[in-house]
């Protein structure tokens, strides 16, 4: 069956809406601050709701504040094809992260409607609650609960950095609906997003098509040495902090090497030092190591190797190390057929694509466990995100909107 001629979004309308939405929660330095479940977050949702209402979309929210706008399909009881992202931001973020995915989805639905294009399945725009985890310290809360990764009770009990509980803010703002999260599963999910990296811009390629999202593993490494006077003898010390420093270097060496951790993205973001006193050689150090392996296999073959190597470098200093898995998330592998629809959408528009594996999480990571999922990435200047300097050009955004539209239309038509 021949594909119909591709439709194109109204890229000026998409661009203007991004600018208008950026005025909600605008910060003095040109950024956007719409923290989750604040008055600004609600105002942002209301603006998008108004656009969706003009289009006659049916709106509903679930009990944890995920918000959906639906255009019906032609075939009864067909599960919706869904596209979306999030409207919350970090305290001083940009106008594209999240907002682009929601507004591109809305633009796609509006283009279908204005072209009189009917789809067999309903097409639904999704706005996931608290993606950033900036105010309630749990990333992708809404999509995670939708996918069954956390319970409604746990979500409602989340404490904001400024005090109130998630559930109380949800009630205060009236953002909860009657439906259970995840009760209505989509038949496919697509998410458009800025890359938040510089691969596309550097390669001069307009569309990124991720195969999936890297796993994120946090490991807690405890180094047991022996406290001593900082002015005492240098021989026979068992300096736990020195061992931790060597271990962190070793972690980086493993990531830079060609072994089991080759190509991993790693960091040591937190240390707890005991007793943490200038005149005392540390006797005990806990280090939090973050590892994002390069592949999407999800095996932990590297974990034993890492523990052995850290043990070896610490052992040279007479320090014992114990490594414990603190948290694990992913990897998420996107669906081959959904990914192919994104690629076809780009090809129909003669847009070149780059294939990659994402290092950072998105709502699509959770949705991949619920429905066939794929993403559409567009470049962002210098790879900068979570900053007032976050920027994408009108045509980058417009191309992404067109590709999302093509994928949605193809998934919903049959």
* Helix runs in 257-390, H state only: 301-315, 336-348, 363-367
Rule CB under 5 A: say whether 97 interacts with Zn ion: yes
Q: How many CB atoms lie within 10 A of CB 383?
A: 16
Cβ 235 to Zn ion shortest distance, Å:
53
Q: 207-213 and 353-358: which strand pairing?
A: parallel
Distances (CA, A) of 253 to 19, 232, 294, 406: 44, 32, 15, 43
Cβ 149 to Zn ion shortest distance, Å:
17
Rule CB under 5 A: say whether 363 interacts with Zn ion: no
Nearer to Zn ion by Cβ, of 97 and 239: the residue is 97
* Of 52-60, 98-106, 172-180, 387-395: span binding Zn ion (CB under 5 A): 98-106
Draw the binding track, 222-251, toward Zn ion (x: CB under 5 A; -: no contact). Answer: ------------------------------
Cβ 25 to Zn ion shortest distance, Å:
15
* Of 19-27, 76-84, 92-100, 107-115: span binding Zn ion (CB under 5 A): 92-100
Can you tell me the distance from the alpha carbon of 208 to that of 114, in angstroms, rounded to the nearest whole number?
Answer: 27
Does the CA dihedral 20-23-25-27 come out positive or negative? positive
Q: Do 54 and 13 touch, CB atoms closer than 8 A?
A: no
Nearer to Zn ion by Cβ, of 97 and 169: the residue is 97
Rounded to the nearest 10 degrees, what angle do helices 394-413 and 11-22 cross at? Answer: 110
Nearer to Zn ion by Cβ, of 313 and 358: the residue is 358
Secondary structure of residue 171 in the 3-state scheme: helix
Rounded to the nearest 10 degrees, what angle do helices 11-22 and 99-114 cross at? Answer: 140
Nearer to Zn ion by Cβ, of 97 and 201: the residue is 97
Nearer to Zn ion by Cβ, of 98 and 365: the residue is 98
Rule CB under 5 A: say whether 400 interacts with Zn ion: no
Nearer to Zn ion by Cβ, of 98 and 388: the residue is 98
* Of 24-32, 91-99, 208-216, 237-245: span binding Zn ion (CB under 5 A): 91-99
Nearer to Zn ion by Cβ, of 192 and 412: the residue is 192
Cβ 86 to Zn ion shortest distance, Å:
6
Q: Do 35 and 91 touch, CB atoms closer than 8 A?
A: yes
Q: 332 forms bridges with which residues in the sheet? A: 213
Cβ 194 to Zn ion shortest distance, Å:
8
Cβ 90 to Zn ion shortest distance, Å:
9
Of 362, 356, 364, 354, the closest CA to residue 400 belongs to 354
Q: 189 forms bridges with which residues in the sheet? A: 82, 373
Number of residues this chain uses to bind Zn ion (CB under 5 A): 2
Length of the chain: 414
Cβ 191 to Zn ion shortest distance, Å:
9
Nearer to Zn ion by Cβ, of 125 and 306: the residue is 125
The secondary element (H helix, E strand) that includes residue 102 is: helix 99-114
Secondary structure of residue 188 in the 3-state scheme: strand
Rounded to the nearest 10 degrees, what angle do helices 39-54 and 99-114 cross at? Answer: 10
Nearer to Zn ion by Cβ, of 18 and 410: the residue is 18
Cβ 72 to Zn ion shortest distance, Å:
28
User: Among residues 31, 33, 94, 98, which is the contact residue for Zn ion, using CB under 5 A?
Assistant: 98
* Helix runs in 316-362, H state only: 336-348
* Of 51-59, 95-103, 219-227, 271-279: span binding Zn ion (CB under 5 A): 95-103
Cβ 137 to Zn ion shortest distance, Å:
16
Can you tell me the distance from the alpha carbon of 341 to that of 108, in angstroms, rounded to the nearest whole number?
Answer: 15
Half-sphere exposure of 6 (CA within 13 A, CB side): 21
- Take residue 76 and report the two structure tokens written for it: 């009864």
* Of 97-105, 286-294, 300-308, 369-377: span binding Zn ion (CB under 5 A): 97-105
Nearer to Zn ion by Cβ, of 121 and 367: the residue is 367
* Of 94-102, 230-238, 291-299, 389-397: span binding Zn ion (CB under 5 A): 94-102
Binding footprint of Zn ion on the chain (CB under 5 A):
97-98
């Amino acid at each position: 069956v021949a594909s119909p001629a591709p439709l194109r979004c109204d890229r000026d309308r998409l661009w203007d809406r991004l600018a208008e939405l950026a005025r909600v929660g605008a910060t003095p330095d040109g950024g956007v601050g719409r923290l989750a479940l604040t008055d600004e977050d609600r105002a942002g949702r209301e603006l998008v709701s108004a656009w969706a209402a003009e289009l006659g979309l049916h709106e509903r929210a679930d009990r944890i504040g995920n918000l959906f706008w639906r255009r019906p399909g032609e075939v009864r009881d067909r599960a919706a094809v869904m596209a979306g992202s999030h409207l919350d931001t970090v305290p001083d973020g940009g106008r594209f992260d999240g907002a682009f995915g929601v507004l591109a989805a809305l633009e796609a639905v509006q283009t279908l409607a204005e072209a009189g294009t009917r789809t067999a399945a309903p097409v639904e725009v999704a706005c996931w609650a608290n993606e950033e985890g900036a105010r309630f310290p749990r990333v992708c809360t809404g999509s995670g609960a939708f996918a069954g990764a956390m319970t409604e009770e746990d979500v409602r009990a989340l404490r904001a950095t400024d005090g109130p509980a998630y559930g109380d803010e949800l009630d205060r703002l009236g953002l909860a609906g009657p439906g259970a999260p995840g009760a209505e599963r989509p038949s496919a999910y697509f998410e458009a997003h800025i890359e938040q990296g510089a691969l596309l811009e550097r390669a001069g390629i307009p569309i990124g098509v991720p195969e999936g999202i890297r796993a994120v593993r946090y490991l807690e490494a405890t180094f047991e040495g022996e406290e001593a006077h900082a002015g005492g003898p240098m021989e026979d010390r068992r300096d736990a902090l020195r061992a931790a420093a060597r271990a962190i270097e070793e972690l980086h060496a493993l990531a830079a090497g060609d072994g089991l951790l080759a190509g991993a993205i790693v960091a040591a973001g937190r240390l707890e030092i005991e007793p943490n006193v200038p005149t005392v050689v540390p006797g005990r150090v806990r280090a939090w190591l973050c590892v994002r392996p390069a592949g999407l296999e999800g095996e932990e073959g590297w974990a034993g190797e890492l523990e052995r190597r850290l043990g070896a470098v610490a052992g040279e200093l007479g320090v014992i190390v114990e490594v414990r898995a603190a948290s694990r998330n992913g990897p998420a592998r996107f669906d081959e057929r959904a990914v192919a629809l994104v690629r076809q959408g780009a090809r129909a528009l003669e847009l070149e694509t780059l294939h990659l594996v994402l290092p950072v999480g998105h709502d699509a990571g959770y949705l991949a466990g619920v429905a066939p999922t794929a993403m559409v990435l567009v470049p962002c200047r210098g790879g900068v995100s979570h900053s007032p300097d976050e920027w994408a050009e009108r045509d980058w955004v417009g191309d992404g909107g067109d590709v999302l539209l093509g994928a949605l239309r193809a998934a919903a038509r049959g």
